[in-house]
Amino acid sequence: MANQVFSIQSVFDYILTRRDGEKLIDLLEGMVFSGETKVDLSLLSSELSVLSNLIDEDLDLEKLLEEFRNAFWKLEFVNLKLAYTPTRTFLSELKRWFEKNMNGPVIIDLEVDKSIIGGAVIVARDHWRDLSIAQRYAFLLSPKRHIT
C-alpha cells in the first residue's frame, strides 16, 4: 500500500477519461456521505482497481476526496469524439500522446457518436479538428447535391 504522502498525480496516471475521474469522485463522495472514514478499495470498478496499489486505505477520506476533486478539475481536458468505444489500451496510448504533445497531464473527455462513421473529432485548448469520415464525405450525403 501507499503511504500518507502518496501523490495525487500518480493516481491521474491511471485516470484515462473524465468518466473514470467522475466515478472515483462519486465513490469517494458516497463513502464520505455514508459516514465512512477510511477508503474501501473493494468498491473500485475493474477499470480503476489498479488504484488500490496507490491509495492507502488509512488515508483521511475527506482529505483525499478534496485533494482529488480539486486537482482533477484543474487538469486539461481533451474532448474526443469517436465512432466506437475504444479499449483502455488504446485510450492509454492516446492519453500518453496528448500528454507528450501538450506538455502536461490530460484527461480524455470521451464521447461515442456513430454518426461520425469513423475517424475522430478533437477539441483541445480551444482548437477544433474534425477528422471524421462523415465530415470528409458530407457532400456525398447532402440531399442538395446536384449532378450537372
56-85: pLDDT as tens digits: 777 788 888 999 999 999 999 999 999 999
Q: Give me the mean pLDDT over the 104-125 stretch.
A: 96
The pLDDT of residue 96 is above 80: yes
In the chain, what is the greatest distance between 2 CA atoms, to the nearest angstrom?
Answer: 74
Q: Cα-flanking dihedrals φ and ψ of residue 59, to 5°?
A: -65, 150
| Cell numbers at 54, concatenated | 496507490
| Cell numbers at 9, concatenated | 498525480
More confident residue, 103 or 42: 103
12-70: pLDDT as tens digits: 888 999 999 999 999 889 988 888 877 777 777 777 777 877 777 777 888 889 999 99
- Alpha-carbon distance 117 to 107, whole Å? 24
- Give which of 68, 87, 95 is closest to 11, Cα–Cα: 68
